[in-house]
Chains A and B, each alone.
Chain A
């Protein structure tokens, strides 16, 4: 795929690329249209191919085209993995093998920290030109102890509640998004209680999956699995155990769950059959709902989230040191994560920008989404982003521990092969096998 040319040429291209970033970022306040001619004059015309690996929906399809038009000598190949787990496996494998990674690898915040132990495998992306571009907590999460910046923030996942207004109407609940927001305002118990009302007069379930609901709840804890210094807390008797039983009680005993595993074939198919009425809905989920529920009318989004605000996911773009064109890759990553581009991605797939300038931008705040009954998604998600209070600590073992709990939920909610207590025993066993304590 990639072509190796003379080093000197690559270096010149790199320097030119940097100059381009500098000028592009300087124009962050809306003057970016001016520097087109300048960059073309200074940059190398060497033909190179850059690969960008993302997962789910980043909304980069049109941006990649646009970048290739701006830079005729650069061909950008965009590879999309279906799930974040798949992308993570691929990244780990190829990182270990020492070859085969894309020039730009998207990584999720949940497994960012486990990769930060191996920050020497990634290019330091810190650059005075991008300072202050993102929300502070977004940058802090990707900065190592010695000040290296691992990745450029793309999106964040402020969560709202997405709901099916047609199913709400059939069950006698309000359908207007402001009324729904009032109805669901409060803690998780309130959300579950309204769910019981709904389930009593509907064939559909209240939410899609115990795992997804737990995910939303655990993202409101400051220290779910690890202390701030990275010490593993342990699962027995923890806050996590309480959440585990709460979610399963709601899912199984109170019959609120559609018993679907998120990202499974059944889950995707359920968007068409209307098996559930609500779901925790970070910005990037909007594109996924729209894509899978094509032809279904009635989806809407309410400016509310149980238990206060919550953030689920959000990603970064990194440049592995394996890349043959690290400077060009860095330039492309910087361009893709600039506020203007991120707003376009938001308009395309709903990935909510993590850039300060983008959050204040009129383009974003006035954005509406036709599929979600013309909801002002920009404004709603900006409100949801403001409501986020907890900044969960996710250490090196977050992903591993989280998987053991998620498996436990799946055994009870989806597979129904265990009751909550026996499944919890298995989770504890799997946790012990990780050998973290």
Chain B
């Protein structure tokens, strides 16, 4: 999984409150006019200059590879041999017709759902616990972040040993309570659960900290008001905390979707061969890409085609996410920007409750 910097609206939006009073100025001498022009340029151009480093870097490490990959995907392209003939969409057709492509899609979505859903739920709960008045707060907060510091490959090495079919610790523990040995490396769903466990181990704490930060931004008077109204802790959690976390939940869901669909390290390190099992039980789309490009076929063209297909899938899912977000936003309250609005709503709600409480 990877964290992408949200290309949010806030930093990029030019500040509309500061307008240049161009028409108010009387006609002046050339020097004055030049200064005026510079001033206008300053206002109009400099915001773009300030944000340009991000876009320049993005163009080099994001956009260029994206376009170049598209170029590679329509050619016969050997890993070591290099560029061959132009073949059009042949690579895409070849890839989609391989049954392993569907297997890879199935595995990716299965691992993604098994990791993201429990992860978000667990992260919210952990954040709520950390948000309570605990002793040694920083210790606990650092504690949940600790798994994130461990390199994914190290996590995968340790977990694949724990999940070994015959000699693994998890199976011997399950054996003591009478559950037969689970075939972690043979059965597709079991292998997905094992891999999702690695992902969750690494990312739950990280997401919990994001939720914690959002929770601490929730005005405390809301909680006070709900206490006065007689709400229990559980009721508070569901009626105050969760609704106000909605924008953060959406952010976390989007980032974990992007990361989850690109999952590679954990499944690759899950066995000694790194090809996703003899029947490709846990081969994800990125591993399929790797196998095409670096495995027996050594076809960069096909690998690039898979990369583009994966990109399009992520875009589609991103759009679905966006649509759902807008739906949620519009059913909640008409307006433009969900986060600011829900804050405002919270504040006014708080005021109302306060008033109600005082009355």
Contact = CB atoms under 8 A, between A and B. Distances in A.
A144 to B, nearest CB: 15
B186 interface: yes
A217 interface: no
B298 A92 contact: yes
B79 A414 contact: no
Nearest to B162: A265
Contacts of B273: 83, 85, 261, 263
Contact of B167 (A266, A404, A418): A266
B354 interface: no
Contact of B272 (A261, A273, A397): A261
B277 A260 contact: no
A433 B79 CA distance: 17
B277 A266 contact: no
Nearest to B163: A265
B160 interface: yes
Contacts of B47: none
Interface in A117-137: 117-118, 121
Contacts of A419: none
A261 to B, nearest CB: 7
A435 B279 contact: no
Q: Which of A83, A263, A266, A399 has the most CB of B within 10 A?
A: A266
A322 B187 CA distance: 43
A258 B297 CA distance: 32
Given A85-B273, A265-B161, A265-B272, A118 B167 contact: no
A380 B80 CA distance: 41
Given A407-B278, A415-B278, A417-B279, A264 B271 contact: yes
Contact of B279 (A265, A406, A415): A415
Interface in B176-192: 183, 185-187
Interface in B142-166: 160-161, 164-166
Interface string B87-110: 000000000001110000000000
B187 A118 contact: no
A265 B167 contact: yes
B30 interface: no
B272 A434 contact: no
Contacts, number: 95
Given A85-B273, A435-B297, A265 B160 contact: yes
A102 B206 CA distance: 37
Q: Which of A269, A417, A430 has the most CB of B within 10 A?
A: A417
A426 B166 contact: no
Interface in B277-327: 277-279, 281, 294-298
A179 to B, nearest CB: 31
Contact of A414 (B274, B275, B278, B295): B278
B166 A270 contact: yes
Contacts of A92: 79-80, 294, 298
Contacts of B185: 264, 414-415
A118 B274 contact: no
Contacts of B298: 92
A260 B100 contact: no
A415 B80 contact: no
Q: Which of A260, A263, A264, A403 has the most CB of B within 10 A?
A: A264
A406 B278 CA distance: 8
B272 A118 contact: no
A287 interface: no
B278 A408 contact: yes
B294 A269 contact: no
B186 A416 contact: yes
B278 A411 contact: yes
Contacts of B297: 400, 433-435
Interface string A412-437: 00111110000000100110011100
Given A85-B272, A415-B277, A434-B297, 6 more contacts: A86-B274, A117-B80, A261-B272, A270-B167, A400-B296, A406-B278
Interface of A: 82-83, 85-86, 89, 92-93, 95-96, 117-118, 121, 260-261, 263-266, 269-270, 273, 275, 397, 399-400, 403-404, 406-411, 414-418, 426, 429-430, 433-435
The 7 A-B residue pairs with the shortest CB-CB distance, nearest first, are A400-B296, A269-B167, A410-B278, A415-B186, A265-B164, A263-B272, A407-B278
23 contacts: A92-B80, A92-B294, A93-B294, A95-B80, A117-B80, A264-B185, A264-B271, A265-B160, A265-B164, A270-B167, A273-B167, A399-B296, A403-B296, A407-B275, A407-B278, A408-B278, A410-B278, A411-B278, A411-B279, A415-B183, A417-B186, A417-B279, A435-B297
